[in-house]
Amino acid sequence: MAHKTPSKTNLILCLFFLICFLYFKINRYFPKPASKLLASFKLSTTKPLFSCKDPDARENFKRARELLFKQNLSLAEIDQIATVELSSYNCSYKDPTEPKILIVVPYRSRELDLLSFIIHMVPYFRHLGRKMEILIAEQSGTGPFNRGKIFNAAIREIKKTSDRDRLSGSTCFAFHDVDKLPVNLDVPYSCTTGPQQLVRVVHNDFRIQDTYSTFLGGVTMFSMDQLDRINGASNSFEGWGGEDDDLWQRIQMIGMKVVKPDKIKGQFYEGNFYHSRDKNPNRKKLLNRPNRKSLMLNDGLRQVNYTLESRVNYNTFVWLLLN
Question: Considering the chain, what is the average pLDDT of its residues?
Answer: 80
pLDDT at 180: 93
pLDDT at 21: 54
Confidence of residue 248 (pLDDT cuts 50, 70, 90): very high
CATH number of the CATH domain containing 211: 3.90.550.10
State yes or no: pLDDT of 1 exceeds 70.
Answer: no
Encode pLDDT of 75-85 as tens digits: 998 898 888 87
Does 300 reside within a domain? yes
Domain count, the chain: 1
Are 201 and 211 in contact by the 8 Å Cβ rule? The answer is yes
The stretch 309-317 carries a mean pLDDT of: 96
Does 240 reside within a domain? yes
Confidence of residue 96 (pLDDT cuts 50, 70, 90): low
Confidence of residue 60 (pLDDT cuts 50, 70, 90): confident
Q: DSSP for 44-110, please give it.
A: T-SS-SS-TT---HHHHHHHHHHHHTT----HHHHHHHHHHHHTT-----S-TTSPPEEEEEEESS-
Query: In a 10 Å sphere around its CB, with 0-12 CB exposed, 13-18 middle and 19+ buried, how is residue 36 labelled?
Result: exposed
Looking at this protein, which amino acid is placed at residue 253? M
Encode pLDDT of 115-159 as tens digits: 889 988 888 887 777 788 999 999 998 888 899 999 999 999 999
pLDDT at 37: 33
Does 212 reside within a domain? yes
Which of the pair, 96 or 235, is modelled with greater confidence? 235
114 closest CA partner among 71, 170, 159: 71
pTM: 0.79
pLDDT at 153: 97
- 3-state secondary structure (DSSP) of residue 152: helix
State yes or no: pLDDT of 173 exceeds 90.
Answer: yes
Does 154 reside within a domain? yes
Does 90 reside within a domain? no
State yes or no: pLDDT of 113 exceeds 60.
Answer: yes
Q: How far apart are CA 93 and CA 62, in angstroms?
A: 26
Does 198 reside within a domain? yes
The stretch 69-90 carries a mean pLDDT of: 77
The stretch 18-31 carries a mean pLDDT of: 46
Does 250 reside within a domain? yes
The stretch 25-47 carries a mean pLDDT of: 35
pLDDT at 185: 85
State yes or no: pLDDT of 46 exceeds 50.
Answer: no
Confidence of residue 242 (pLDDT cuts 50, 70, 90): confident
The stretch 27-55 carries a mean pLDDT of: 38
**CA quadruple 299, 302, 307, 308: dihedral sign:** positive
Confidence of residue 29 (pLDDT cuts 50, 70, 90): very low
Among residues of the chain, what percentage have pLDDT more than 70?
A: 76
Q: Which domain holds residue 232?
A: 98-109+124-322
Does 230 reside within a domain? yes
Encode pLDDT of 183-231 as tens digits: 988 899 999 999 999 999 998 888 899 999 888 999 999 999 999 999 9
Encode pLDDT of 254-299 as tens digits: 999 999 999 999 999 988 655 556 676 776 777 777 787 888 899 9
